Amino acid sequence: MSATGAGRRRSPVTWAKRGGLSSVVFALPVLVVFGVFSWWPIVRSVVMSFQKTNLVGSPRWVGWHNFVFVLTDPDLPTAIRNTLYFALLALVIGYPVPLVTAVLISSVRRYKGLYSVLAYLPVVVPPVVAVLLWKFFYDGSAQGVFNTILRWVGLGPYSWLSSPSLAMPSLVIEATWAAAGGTVIIYLAALIGVPDELYDAAEVDGAGIWQRVWHVTMPQLRGVLLITFILQIIGTVQVFLEPYLFTDGGPANATLTILLMIYNYAFARSLGGNYGAATALSVMLAAFLAVLSLVYFKLTSRWSKS
Amino acid sequence: MKYSRTTLAFAIVGVLALSGTLVACSSGDKNNNSGSSTTLDPNTKVTLNVVGLLPGSKPEAQQALADLVTQFQTANPNITVKTHDYEWKATTFAADLAGGTLPTVFEIPFTDAKTLIANQQISDMQAYLSQLSYASSFNKNLLQYGQGDNGDVYAIPAKSVYAIGLHYNRDLFTQAGLDPSKPPTTWDEVRADAKAIATKTGQAGFAQMSQDATGGWQLTVDTYARGGRMEDGKKATLTNDATKAALQFLKDLRWTDNSMGANFSYDWSGINQAFAAGKIGMYTSGQDVYTSLVQTNNINPKSYGLTMIPLSGGDSGVLGGGTMAAVSSKATNNEKAAAVKWIDFYYLSKYTNQAAAVKNAQTQVASKQPVGTPELPIFSQAQYQQYEDWIKPYVNVPLDQMTTFTSNVFSAKLVNEPAVATQDVYKSLDPVVQAVLTNKDANIDQLLSDANSKAQRAIDSAG
């Protein structure tokens, strides 16, 4: 309190001489960048969600109309269901894969760096290129790459992206391949922090490899695992690239996700988007994720401390 | 003198606001410095950004375009034309328009002009268009698409005025034991031929677009061909019998005959690519698609055939549409004056001026580009036939493989696209087509009922 009181009495010159100005100058770029590219768009989105605008003429206030419009959209339940399905599949397939990969890489004695590079390589491939590549792999004809491989073992051909039941798992597999590398690196970094003595002690106690992973590695990674878990949920709930580029939400809305719906509201109509509906759904999604994150951290705070 | 931090903050904000206003004023001045003249001052240099060819067009096509640009710039030394690759897509157009990344002169489908005019997103070109000698000769039915409530022309009918045709691969017909000079004339024959092609060649006998609103577009085509309509005034009528019959036809081909191949997510460019590559026996699209099949997809002309889409039912007709040239609402008067010169040169003068028609045809032929692809008249039918006579010596498209289309199209009933919320209506039908093609147990009645609700919602929102 006293510092604040002293601040009020100081002249700008004194304030500047004592480093106040340089602090502001140093903080300014960050503030400007965040302000212009993060906070201002967020504020604009909230404002726009209560407006009808075509970004050319003056916007009109429409109250809760955009929210009602979105909530009564017959496609919304499908999009929510698909998004949750994607998130679930991504958790089942995508969450353990990087962990297992990281544990395996950290366990090998030679070429650890090489394996890390190989695991990270897909992250370096530009996402659009990766999707186009996988689109080629997923060719539904008998001559498609995956179908050719599966034919060798007497399976297929499968329609992959043209099948309502296979389309979503196909997307998740590509998304896992594309994103796992980043998470592997995070786990590897965390694994370096696990003291070797713990493994030695466990080994002396007669623990096998799986027991060491379960009783030593996992508890030591708990904090990182909890963070990557919520990041994964937030990331997968906002999935857009894969359904947009692979299937455009098809076939028959089988891969229509919430973010794709937001995009469609805003941009898919050639005659100017329904920006109000797009921002309304964005605001609702952001609010949901914020609440989810708060609840999650509240529930798991005890675990990460222990 | 002592200042509080708040005062300092206000001072900074004030300075920033003032400088922002000054910048805004200066840019406003810049936009308004072109005066009110509708003719281009010959001493003023103008750079005009225009749409060019489809992305991925072959070097020969690019060369032909470059030659045209050179000819234009020679005739108009004060105008510099910059062309940009362009493909109109419902899913990207609005983003390009809102983001300001469209060229000054761009192309739009007939169905979108009215709304873009109402939203003040394209320029009023009446004063500039009036300077052209043929301004009053346009086909009135086409011109009305681009007119505002005040009667002024904003978007100008420019190219690709089409009726839908049935495109077929003559080589696949031959391989399947069918006569390529006798293409199908009924839907039953289309089905039988598709099955023969699929069985004998292993390729898709018939394929259908289903993405980016093309699924709805083509289902509307199929509906019109069976006598149905998608709208009755402001009422969506997607659940009509003709649409159900069209979907049942697709269902039969897909699930009973297995004659539609393995790809059920084609968009416009994707189906063209597959067709040119010999993977598709038949598909429906605009009659003029041959030009882009050559320019972009390297089709073998000998394999190409075009015939009428089968028509059945009392009120059946062929869906017609086309492309308009529009000028950005942000264009200066000089840019608008230059734009109308380019639109005249690039799109229209060839139909009305023999020297221009011959020169254009010579330029295209020199780069081995298609000349003579059948279109529908932008002006009168007599004028179009005169244009055909002018370019006759230069025609290099296989017109004799399109005679079953060209000899019948003018006697067919042309039906305009749905008037209200066109792209939304199409978009609501995409999942229906996709469901029928990918789900054996798809319930056509239920799917159409759901789509009808969505289409009605879009029509109501359109006001």
- In Å, how far is B436's CA from the nearest CA of chain A? 8
Verify whether the Cβ–Cβ distance A11 to B2 is below 8 Å. Answer: yes
pLDDT of residue B57: 85
Q: Which of A171, A271, A279 to mutate to test the interface with B (most CBs of B within 10 A)?
A: A271
Cβ contacts of A268 on chain B, cutoff 8 Å: 90-91, 94, 427
Verify whether the Cβ–Cβ distance A164 to B423 is below 8 Å. Answer: no
Joined together, the tokens standing for residue B247 give 């979907």
Joined together, the tokens standing for residue A114 give 């090489």
Chain A contact for B444 (CB, 8 A cutoff):
no
Q: B415-433: string of b/e by CB count within 10 Å (b at 16+)?
A: bbbbbbbbbbbbbbbbbbb
Q: B282-305: string of b/e by CB count within 10 Å (b at 16+)?
A: bbbbbbbbbbbbbbbbebeeebbb
With H, G, I as helix, E, B as strand and everything else as coil, classify residue B404: helix
Q: Which residue has the higher pLDDT, B326 or A234?
A: B326
pLDDT digits (tens, 9 = 90+) for A214-263: 888 888 888 888 888 888 888 888 899 999 999 989 899 999 999 999 99
pLDDT of residue B36: 57
Verify whether the Cβ–Cβ distance B453 to A271 is below 8 Å. Answer: no
pLDDT at residue B214 tops 60: yes
Alpha-carbon gap, residue B165 to B398, rounded angstroms? 15
Q: What is the ipTM of this complex?
A: 0.78
Q: Pick B164-320+408-462's CATH classification: 3.20.20.70, 3.40.50.300, 3.40.50.10420, 3.40.190.10.
A: 3.40.190.10
Chain A contact for B70 (CB, 8 A cutoff):
no
Verify whether the Cβ–Cβ distance A56 to B120 is below 8 Å. Answer: yes
Cβ contacts of A56 on chain B, cutoff 8 Å: 119-121, 329
pLDDT digits (tens, 9 = 90+) for B128-183: 999 999 999 998 888 989 999 899 999 999 988 899 999 999 999 999 999 999 99
Q: Number of Cβ pairs closer than 8 Å across A and B?
A: 119
B72 within 8 A of B81, measured Cβ to Cβ: yes
Verify whether the Cβ–Cβ distance A273 to B423 is below 8 Å. Answer: no
Joined together, the tokens standing for residue B379 give 């002006």
B287 within 8 A of B403, measured Cβ to Cβ: no
Cβ contacts of B211 on chain A, cutoff 8 Å: 248, 250
pTM of the model: 0.81
The secondary structure of residue A162, as a DSSP letter, is G
C-alpha distances (whole Å) from A120 to each of A173, A186, A218, A230 are 16, 11, 22, 21
With H, G, I as helix, E, B as strand and everything else as coil, classify residue B436: helix
- Where do we find the tokens 């509708």? B38
- In Å, how far is A274's CA from the nearest CA of chain B? 10
pLDDT digits (tens, 9 = 90+) for B378-413: 998 899 999 999 999 999 999 999 999 999 998 889
The secondary structure of residue B255, as a DSSP letter, is I
CA angle B52, B58, B60 (to 5 degrees): 90
Joined together, the tokens standing for residue A233 give 């949920």
pLDDT band with cut points at 50, 70 and 90 for residue B12: very low
Q: A72-111: string of b/e by CB count within 10 Å (b at 16+)?
A: ebebbebbbebbebbbebbeebbbebbbebbbebbeeeee
Chain A contact for B417 (CB, 8 A cutoff):
no
Show me where the domains of chain B are located: 46-161+321-394, 164-320+408-462
* Cα within 13 Å of Cα(A89), Cβ side: 20
Note if the bond before A157 is cis, omega within 30 degrees: yes
CB-CB neighbours of B36 under 10 Å:
7
Verify whether the Cβ–Cβ distance B93 to A270 is below 8 Å. Answer: yes
The answer to whether domain B46-161+321-394 has CATH 3.40.190.10 is: yes
Verify whether the Cβ–Cβ distance B119 to A162 is below 8 Å. Answer: no
Chain A residues at the B interface, defined by Cβ less than 8 Å, are 7-8, 11-12, 15, 54-57, 74-75, 139-142, 144, 157, 159, 161-164, 247-248, 250-253, 266-274
Q: CATH topology of B46-161+321-394 equal to that of B164-320+408-462?
A: yes
DSSP string, A182-199: HHHHHHHHHHHTS-HHHH
Q: Which of B16, B122, B438 to mutate to test the interface with A (most CBs of A within 10 A)?
A: B438
Q: Dihedral, CA atoms, B217, B219, B220, B223, nearest 10 degrees?
A: 170
Verify whether the Cβ–Cβ distance B427 to A272 is below 8 Å. Answer: no
Q: What is the mean pLDDT of chain B?
A: 88
The structural domains of chain A, ordered by start, are 2-48 (no CATH), 73-305 (1.10.3720.10)
Chain A contact for B432 (CB, 8 A cutoff):
yes
Pairing relation of β-strands B231-232 and B235-236?
antiparallel
Helix axes B422-438, B214-225, angle to 10 degrees: 90
